[in-house]
Structure formats: C-alpha cells, structure tokens
Amino acid sequence: MRRCYDRGNGVTALKNYSFRFLLIINVLFIVMLSCSLLYADIDPQYQDRLNYLTERLKLEGFAEDEIGTILADSRLELYPYIVGRSGKGIDYMGRRFGLLTASSIERGQRILDENREVLEDVERSFGVEKEVVVAILRIETDFGRKTGRYPVLNSLLTMVLVENRRSAWAEKELIEFLRICREQNRDPFSVKGSWAGAFGICQFIPSSYVRFAVDGSGDGVVDLFDFKDAVASIANYLKAHGWESGDLQAKRRAIYAYNHCDSYVEAVLAYAKAAKERS
Ligand SMILES: [Ca+2]
C-alpha cells in the first residue's frame, strides 16, 4: 500500500510537474506566436503603424486571421531603402536607356509584326495607335523582360509603415491589392513588380488595375502578365484619360496620366514614331 501510495504520490508529483511544464511551454508558445503575428520580420519601431494598418484592414472587411497569416508569413520583408526614391529619375531619352537605338526600335517592330492582329484589334477597339501601345511596353518593361523583382505586397507595406509622403497613397493601394488577391484567390506574395508597387507587362498599380485593366484575351481573367490583357489595358487606360487620335495635346495628356513625367511623354511619342516609320 505504502509503495503504491508512494508511487501514487510520485505520479501525482510528476503529473503536477508535467502540468506546470506544459503550462509554461504553452504560455511561451502563445507569447512566441503572438509576437510572430505582431512582428514577423518587421522592425518594432513600425509597430504602431502596423497596429493602425491592421485596424484599417479590419474596417475594410479583412478577417483578423487573414491579416495575421499575411503578417506572420516568412516572406514578409520591408525595404526601407525604397522610401524617398523618385520615379522621375529615369532619363528615358538618354543613352543609357537606349530607347532609340537600332536594336531597341527593331525589337518594337518585331513585336508589332508578331502581334499585328492583336494590336490592330486593340487599335480598332480603343482608338489608340498600336505603335503607342508598343512604345509603352518598351519603356515600362522592355516588352515584359523587366517586370520587377519586388513582391508588390512588401513594397506597398514598406511605404505604408515607413512614414513618407507616399504612405497614405500606399495604404489605399495595399488595400486594393489585397482585395484583388483575395478575389482571385492569389497568393499576395506571388505578385512581383516595381519598387513602387506597379506590376505586369504594362506596370499598373493596384487601383489602376481595378479601374482600367481589361481582359483582352477573352479568358475571363485579367492578367497583366498576359500580352493580350496588357495591351488592351494600356489602350483602355489611355482612352479613359482622354486619348483622341487627331489631337496631339489630348494624346500628351493621356500619356502624362500614365506616368506623370514630361520626358516620359516625349519618349513614348518618339519611340512610337520611330517604330512606325519602318513598318
Ligand atoms: Ca485574360
């Protein structure tokens, strides 16, 4: 009996010990989990803004676990070095960009030749010259060769959390982006683009995608990494911003709306002209 009693005491003690141990482990696990949900790889100095963003996303209809899953993802990363960058630094007409070199123009002409039917269809549907659409593809991503290496989610999140002049803008774009991903059942970390959050062959920001991107291929999906969708979306964007084929000022304004930069407007028109001359 005594042995049994002793043994019993021993088991009880062991149980108590195990229970306390498990309790501590559980508490530690919960603390670690909540820390990872709150912080992921985010510098604690941004925690206030992250809390604010979380509340904002909830107001926009995102569930807490949905937000938590994104923030706890190991692919989440901030790029503070992009803050303060300006999109106006590119000299589109400069030698380095190589826009009007023979090989650059030939590449555009090849795109025109290989996709003539699609581009003429877009020209008829939207009233935007195919050479202009091709010029934008050349300048934005070199016909899809350089669509960007930054996960759009991380770029936009950086601009939201690291306070700067784009923070309010980036917050709206981030919400639009997450909504697009949710609607399309897309992994938000899988979409890569420019440091400024533009993606696809035509480099649309999320709000432009929502408002102006169209399904040019007719498959029911608007995918800006698809050539047909991208060219139709460029033409639709320009048309929606007042493009008039007989009005140069209207054309300039529409291109300027695409990228608020005078040298960009000049570059698009110069490349379109050069690509057309041989065709
Ligand atoms: Ca499509």
41-45, 64-68, 109-113, 204-208, range with the lowest pLDDT: 41-45
What is this structure's pTM? Answer: 0.84
Q: Per the structure block, which two tokens stand in for 242?
A: 């007042």
* pLDDT band (50, 70, 90) for residue 35: very low
Mean pLDDT of all residues in the chain? 88
Using the mean position of ligand 1's atoms as its centre, give its distance from the Cα of residue 22 in Å: 53
Residue 170 lies in a domain: no
CA–centroid distance, residue 218 to ligand 1 (Å):
5
Q: 132 and 27: one domain?
A: no
* 225 CA distance to ligand 1 middle (Å): 9
**58 belongs to a structural domain:** no
Share of the chain above pLDDT 90, in %: 77
pLDDT at 2 over 60: no
Question: Distances in Å between the alpha carbon of 177 and those of 64, 143, 267?
Answer: 17, 23, 29
Whether 98 and 35 map to the same domain: the answer is no
Query: Distance from the CA of 219 to the center of ligand 1, in angstroms?
Result: 5
For residues 235 and 137, state if they share a domain: yes
Q: Which residues pair with 150 in a beta bridge?
A: 193
Q: What is the mean pLDDT of residues 36-56?
A: 81
Residues 1 and 137 in one domain: no
**Does residue 160 lie within any of the structural domains?**
no
Q: What is the pLDDT of residue 87?
A: 65
Query: What is the distance in A from the centroid of ligand 1 to the CA of 80?
Result: 34
The rounded Å distance from CA 11 to ligand 1 centre is 67
- Give per-residue pLDDT as tens, 152-209: 999 999 999 998 889 999 999 999 999 999 999 999 999 999 999 999 999 999 999 9
C-alpha of residue 261 to centroid of ligand 1, in Å: 29
Would you say residue 92 lies in a domain?
yes
Q: What pLDDT score was predicted for residue 23?
A: 53
**266 tagged catalytic:** no
- Residue 27 alpha carbon to ligand 1 centre in Å: 49
Residue 252 lies in a domain: yes
- 49 inside domain: no
Query: Would you state the pLDDT for residue 243?
Result: 98
Are residue 33 and residue 113 in the same domain, yes or no? no
Region 88-107: what's the mean pLDDT? 91
Return the H-helix or E-strand segment holding 150: strand 150-151
Confidence check: pLDDT of 134 > 70: yes
Do residues 8 and 94 both lie within one domain? Answer: no
Sign of CA dihedral 238, 90, 138, 218: negative
Q: Say yes or no: 35 and 100 in one domain.
A: no
* Active-site residue identified among 123, 129, 131, 140: 140
Mean pLDDT for 58-87 is 92
262 shares a domain with 206: yes
pLDDT digit string, tens, across residues 250-276: 999 999 999 999 999 999 999 999 999
Nearest to 138 by CA among 17, 274, 260: 274
Whether residue 155 lies inside any domain: the answer is no
- Residues near 247 by Cβ (< 8 Å), separated by ≥ 6? none
State whether 98 and 30 are in the same domain: no
204 and 266 part of one domain: yes
Q: Please report the pLDDT score of residue 84 as a whole number.
A: 81
- Structural domain that includes position 267: 87-147+200-278
How many whole angstroms from 201 Cα to the centroid of ligand 1?
A: 13
Q: Does the pLDDT of residue 8 top 60, yes or no?
A: no
Our count of domains for the chain comes to 2
Same domain? For 95 and 206 the reply is: yes
Q: Indicate whether 18 and 138 sit together in one domain.
A: no
Tell me, what's the pLDDT at 274?
A: 97
Structure confidence by residue, pLDDT tens digits, 19-33: 555 555 554 444 444
Q: How many residues does the chain have?
A: 279
Q: What share of the chain is helix, strand, coil (3-state, %, to 5)?
A: 65, 0, 35
pLDDT of residue 52: 95
pLDDT of residue 44: 87
pLDDT digits (tens, 9 = 90+) for 103-114: 999 999 999 999
Residue 48 lies in a domain: no
- Per-residue model confidence (pLDDT) at position 24: 55
